[in-house]
Amino acid sequence: MDKRVIKAVIAAHQQAIGRVQLVERPIGFEEEANYVLVGIRRAGKSYQMFQDIQHRIKSGKVVLEDCLYINFEDERIASIEANELGMILDCYAEMYDNRKPQIYLDEIQNIIGWEKFARRLADAKYRVLITGSNASMLSRDIATTLGGRYIVREVFPFSFHEFLTYHQVDPKDNWEYLPDKRLQVIKLFDSYFHNGGFAETFPLANKREWLNSLYRKILLGDIIARYDIRNANAIRLLARKLAESVMQPSTQARLLNIIKASSTGISRNTLADYLTYMNDVYLTFSISNYTDSLAERSSICKRYYYDNGLLANFLIDAETKLLENVVAIDLLRRYGSGESDGLFYYNKGVEVDFYIPDKRMALQVSYSIDDPLTREREVKALSRLAEVFSLDKVAIVTRDEEDTLIENGLRIEVVPVWKWLLRESD
């Protein structure tokens, strides 16, 4: 790798950071901690770095020249390898008389062996922030190599709370009791509900075009090209079928039959790989049935998209799927998912859309419970679950309806989705 190229990249990136106009987010980093930021493309990982740099400069803790930022998707350094990463420090030292910089490494996941360099930086007491768009950065091997030297933080597109703040609506105002303000919040939610939380779309008139471009970048670049997939039609079809199946638990066998029915043949192992790739690039995420065994949890899941705007690209009659999807994103953001805690669904005798065992919380999602049969079905499922587990918070999230129901001594809140998303911590 040519040092002159690296120096040119360092200088260009430094100047660009000073000109970036930020959409501020309520994000803070510990003063002496190192971080790995992971999440879907364009969710704002790089902007969190820029925000950290600008805040530190404004506070007088550093000057711009103290900040070493490298974006590894810059085509000028696309060929750099892990054993050459140390040249970045050498080049910086030559440019700035051996100053010790704050280090920001953006989209480093494509450099095989990057984690050893990251560990060396932490051991040398550099302050480091790293971003990546692939969940393989969270693998057990990498976590072992980093050895507790970094805090891992998952970055999502904007929450509805952040979306309102962007539009200069204070989510903490008493707008709930002011008709005009309440209508404004509901109107803004309609845009968020259908178009999602990618901040770059907020000022655009044609949000669909931007979202389609992002989807193509994730599918073609992060999945098909990265994993050398030759049957591109199969994974395109799978992405569409997962969107159409949001809300429904699906087995790998069922998905395989759907794809084979379209005359697109793939093996069971290939299907499992494709599902893993889609989760790894944060296009989709999966939640398991709480009552399933560990082996079953990997093969029978409910699958969702990381952003409603991406999901809406696939659907015509989208309302009910978008409703459950936006609730799933909110719950994943707040509680995560894991083998024994976090976010699950429950299906044993009755089906409950979401169950968070460590919060003793259960939720049903229903577009409307105005129909008596629908109301009875949703209430009965929650009531049956409460007979199995002690529950502190029970709710039915709807599109617009609000009420409080009592069933066999169980208090069930009926909450409109826009209000549910703005709740304080549970």
Q: What is the pLDDT of residue 100?
A: 94
Q: What is the pLDDT of residue 110?
A: 82
Vertex 193: Cα angle to 192 and 196 (nearest 5): 55
pLDDT band, very low/low/confident/very high, at 426 (cuts 50, 70, 90): low
The pTM is what?
0.94
Most confidently modeled of 116-125, 135-144, 248-257, 336-345? Answer: 116-125
Q: What is the pLDDT of residue 297?
A: 84
Q: What is the DSSP string of 341-381?
A: SB-EEEEESEEEEEEEGGGTEEEEE-S---SHHHHHHHHHH
- Is the pLDDT at 263 greater than 70? The verdict is no
pLDDT, tens digit, 9 for 90 and up, residues 321-367: 999 999 999 999 999 987 778 999 999 999 999 999 999 999 999 99
Q: What is the pLDDT of residue 313?
A: 93
Do 345 and 289 contact (CB within 8 A), yes or no? yes
Q: How confident is the model over 258-275, as a mean pLDDT?
A: 87
- The DSSP bridge partners found for residue 105 are 70, 130
Do 45 and 155 contact (CB within 8 A), yes or no? yes
Q: What is the pLDDT of residue 411?
A: 97
Q: What is the pLDDT of residue 260?
A: 84
Q: How confident is the model over 259-282, as a mean pLDDT?
A: 89
Higher-scoring residue by pLDDT: 23, 414: 414
pLDDT band, very low/low/confident/very high, at 137 (cuts 50, 70, 90): confident
SS3 96: coil
- Is the pLDDT at 295 greater than 80? The verdict is no
pLDDT, tens digit, 9 for 90 and up, residues 157-216: 999 999 999 999 987 766 666 778 888 999 999 999 999 999 999 999 999 999 999 999
Q: What is the pLDDT of residue 294?
A: 80
Specify the range with the lowest mean pLDDT, choosing from 148-152, 230-234, 261-265, 361-365: 261-265
Q: How confident is the model over 264-277, as a mean pLDDT?
A: 91
Higher-scoring residue by pLDDT: 426, 179: 179
- Is the pLDDT at 403 greater than 70? The verdict is yes
Question: What is the residue whose two structure tokens read 């994103």?
Answer: 329
Q: How confident is the model over 121-144, as a mean pLDDT?
A: 89
Q: Taking the CB of residue 409, how many other CB atoms lie within 10 A of it?
A: 7
Q: Is the dihedral of CA 267, 269, 275, 281 positive or negative?
A: negative
The residue extents of the domains of the chain are 3-154, 160-195
pLDDT band, very low/low/confident/very high, at 290 (cuts 50, 70, 90): very high
Helix axes 179-195, 319-335, angle to 10 degrees: 90
Mean pLDDT for the chain overall: 93
Q: What is the pLDDT of residue 174?
A: 67
pLDDT, tens digit, 9 for 90 and up, residues 72-115: 999 999 999 999 999 999 999 999 998 899 999 999 998 999 99
pLDDT band, very low/low/confident/very high, at 21 (cuts 50, 70, 90): confident
Q: What is the DSSP string of 175-217?
A: GGG-HHHHHHHHHHHHHHHHH-S-GGGTT-S-HHHHHHHHHHI
Distances 247 to 20, 129, 318, 335 between C-alpha atoms, Å:
39, 36, 12, 19
Question: What is the residue whose two structure tokens read 């910089």?
Answer: 101
Q: What is the CATH number of domain 3-154?
A: 3.40.50.300
Q: How much of the chain, in percent, has pLDDT values that exceed 90?
A: 79
